[in-house]
Chain A
Amino acid sequence: MVETFKKYSDAILMLVFIAAVLAGPVILEPVGAGYPDLLQKFAIYGIFALGFNILLGLTGYLSFGHAAFLGVGSYTTVWAFKLLSMNPLPALVFSVLTAGLFSLLIGWISLRRTGIYFSILTLAFAQMCYNLAYSVLTPITNGETGLQLSQSDPRILDTAFGRDYGAVLPSSDLFGIEMTGYPGFYFCGVLLIICFYIALRIFRSPFGLMLQGVKSNQNRMNYTGLNTRPYALAAFVISGMYAGLAGGLLAVTDPLAGAERMQWTASGEVVLMTILGGAGTLLGPVIGAGVIKYAENIFSAFNEGTLLSAFSFLPETLQHIAVSVTGLFVGEGWHLTLGVLFMVIVIFLPGGLMEGVNRIINLFRRSTGGGGEGSAQAAPQPAE
């Protein structure tokens, strides 16, 4: 029984994942997250974090510059909308390819160094992209205003197929299905499932094992006569393409691309998502992305009024103290919560939520006397 379960565990995981994504609107309804705009965000940032995890989780390289690829993806998609067609498919293909090219270039240079130097190199490149997008590249990126659609865009393919949007600003549609509301979410959701499947295959493949070898001891890999850099570069490019796809989807759901998407705080956010969920696990990053986007949505919506009513059971002086303390963490101060969360996770649970779940399962198994043989050991630390 256990053997068959192990044999098919990946298939089961995949099926559960597909079911969870497709039933997302129903499952998340009770927590107030069952509406398409938010679900779409979950899916998009899930893709972003999944890709980032292929780099950080498998090879251990911490990139602080992945937001650059997200931004490149968004810009490419908006340009494809402007020049080719409002159909998201060609736009996404182009944004994945462009982000792949960018990450090939940046990764080729950055991967010459490891550790903190790699982080700083990627950070430097992302900052360069951000600064250029704001200043010199304004003809392409439209600077501070952000790149927008306009009625006078050529849209060659649409014109060729005789589609005319009339006098309104067009929105993206997949062969006539508008990319808003539930169709928009399911479009992103299906892409998330495909991305998850690819990530699963990578994790289980010899290539994935090679990447894990890079993480646990790159020197030993080199000593066995293997050149690890092409593998790391491949992982970097794949994660860059995932980021490009996520950026493209952001522009599909809202055809606007701004440079602030490339800022390094955005890179920090995806790092947090991956770490929060559990770097190196398959499901972790998707869950981390969901938790953060959900918490952002909830916390930033709070204001003093809701807090006052939430603490209305307290005596008045206590109520005001409670409101002013919690008020720091919600609404405008949501980033404070994010920072605290970040620290707590890194300090107490460096393996992320997935490690927490495993610990609880192990605790449960041990107390019932089942043979949980420490299957949730933390990943071995790299030797010197």
Chain B
Amino acid sequence: MDAILLQVLNGLDKGGAYALIALGLTLIFGTLGVVNFAHGALFMLGAFCAVTLKEILSWEMVTVDPTQQTAWGTPLEIRTPYIEAWFGDAGRFILDYSVPFSILFAIPIMLAIGIVMERGLIKHFYKRPHVEQILVTFGLAIVLQELVKSMFGANPIPQPAPDALSGSADIGALLGFAPNTVVYPYWRMVYLAFSGVVIAGVFAFLQFTTFGMVVRAGMADRETVGLLGIDIDRRFTIVFGLAAVVAGLAGVMYTPILSPDYHMGMDFLVLSFVVVVVGGMGSLGGAVSAGFMLGILQSFASMNEVKSIFPGIDQIIIYLIAVIILLVRPRGLMGRKGVMEG
């Protein structure tokens, strides 16, 4: 029982990341009808927003203390980040919490990247076949990934979680199991809560605001909405920006769990596509539930008990599920009729 609980928890945070990326993917697909292979790159760019902010915050001021000497006999250099020197404890706090603060930093950047990408490139591909959309966004993904590689290097850059949140909680003890059986890092809880909030936010935005209503109407019948005198293209551009922000935030908050490197986007992209397909193209609810479901399944498959029965199942479970779903339920779990048929 406690082992099962542990696997469910382990799967949830990965599932949260899948769900967030897949949500953006399917949002773009539902509104613009574009298959965006560069969405993983947006996730990666979000993660590197966190890296950049951390680097900016930790620019150091060098002061020389002539009264003390190092072991080599030179005067001791004291390095303090500027932000700490200027703001004292508040600065130290900001530096410690750089990952959460990166959210504020990443939102405008990702929004801008998303809008530029849509206006500059994707716009020209609405009328072209899906194959060409796939190819051009695939090329863009390579370009973005290589640019990041040339700027930040090929090695993963660890981003520590804030000190207060870097420990683990003994959830098992709280629920009455033996202590130390179900241990769950605080940050993963934060991530889970965060992805829940973002998902709820996106749904609320689409469901309860006028803007969201127009977007949903546009998803259902783009032409009619246009005939009513609404500039649906501009709304959809903003939706693309929003999807980029969602993917970026997923990346920002994921950095303490997985040190970001330039190809993390591609790794997640393939899986997120599978998630979208399993959930059903164009279905937001399907993407979210499939994301969590596949995350949990993946962590179950990596249990030793399961692996001893089906060796290697942890490596292929997600793809296997996707194949089965596509064959028995071509529209995915919650796919709508008429979306991407044929």
A residues contacting B by CB (< 8 A) are 60, 62, 109, 112-117, 119-121, 123-125, 127-128, 131-132, 134-137, 219, 264-265, 268, 271, 275, 328, 332-333, 335-336, 338-343, 346-347, 350, 381-382
Q: Which of B139, B143, B281, B319 makes the CB contact (< 8 A) with A124?
A: B319
- The yes or no answer to B94 lying at the interface (CB within 8 A) is no
Residue from A125, A135, A343 within 8 A of B312 (CB atoms): A135
- The answer to whether A339 and B143 have CB atoms under 8 Å apart is yes
Q: Which residues of A contact B266 (CB under 8 A)?
A: 265
Expressed in whole angstroms, the Cα–Cα distance for A275 and B132 within the complex equals 10
Considering the chains assembled together, what is the distance between the CA atoms of A275 and B138 in angstroms?
A: 13
Since A346-B136, A347-B121 are in contact, a sample of 5 more A-B pairs with Cβ atoms closer than 8 Å, ordered by chain A residue number, is A62-B131, A113-B330, A136-B315, A265-B266, A342-B142
B135 near A117 (CB under 8 angstroms)? no
With A and B bound together, what is the CA distance between A271 and B129 in angstroms? 16
Which residues of B in the span 260-319 have a Cβ within 8 Å of any Cβ on A? Answer: 266, 270, 273-274, 277, 281, 311-312, 315-316, 319
The chain A residue sitting closest to B331, CB to CB, is A117
For residue B337, CB closer than 8 A to chain A, the reply is no
Q: Given A128-B320, A333-B150, does the pair A268, B138 have CB atoms closer than 8 Å?
A: yes
Are B340 and A116 interface neighbours, CB within 8 A? yes
B202 at interface by CB-CB < 8 Å: no
In the complex the two chains form, what is the Cα distance from A114 to B146 in whole Å? Answer: 31
A117 B330 Cβ-Cβ under 8 A: yes
Majority SS at the chain A contact face: helix
Is B322 touching A115 in the complex (CB atoms < 8 A)? no
Interface of B is mostly: helix
Q: With a CB–CB cut-off of 8 A, which chain A residues contact B319?
A: 124-125, 127-128, 131
Chain B residues with a Cβ under 8 A of chain A:
35, 121, 124, 128-132, 134-136, 138-143, 145-147, 149-150, 266, 270, 273-274, 277, 281, 311-312, 315-316, 319-320, 322-323, 326-327, 330, 340, 342
**Do residues A136 and B139 form an inter-chain contact, with CB atoms below 8 A?**
no
* 5 A–B pairs (Cβ distance < 8 Å), ordered by A: A117-B340, A131-B319, A335-B142, A335-B146, A381-B129
Bound CA span A338–B142, Å: 8
- The docked-state distance in angstroms from the alpha carbon of A338 to that of B270 is 20
A131 touches B316 (CB 8 A): yes
- Asked if A350 and B132 sit within 8 Å, CB to CB, the answer is yes
Chain A residues with Cβ below 8 Å from B273 are 120, 123
Known: A113-B330, A115-B340. A121 touches B134 (CB 8 A): no
CB pair A347–B315 under 8 Å, yes or no, is no
From residue B84, how far is it (CB to closest CB) to chain A in Å? 32
In the complex, which residue of chain A has the Cβ closest to the Cβ of B320?
A128
CB of B316 within 8 A of CB of A132, answer: yes
With both beta carbons as reference points, the residue of chain B lying nearest to A263 in the complex is identified as: B266
What is the CB-to-nearest-CB distance from B322 to chain A, in angstroms, rounded to a whole number? 5
**Is there an interface contact between B315 and A271, defined as CB atoms closer than 8 Å?**
no
Shortest distance between the CB of A340 and any CB in chain B (Å): 6
In the complex, chain B residues whose CB is within 8 Å of the CB of A338: 142
Q: For residue B132, give the distance in angstroms from its CB to the closest CB of chain A.
A: 6
How many whole Å from A264's CB to the nearest CB in chain B? 7
Task: Sort A-B residue pairs by CB-CB distance and give the 8 closest, nearest first.
Answer: A136-B312, A339-B142, A342-B139, A131-B315, A336-B146, A343-B139, A339-B143, A124-B319
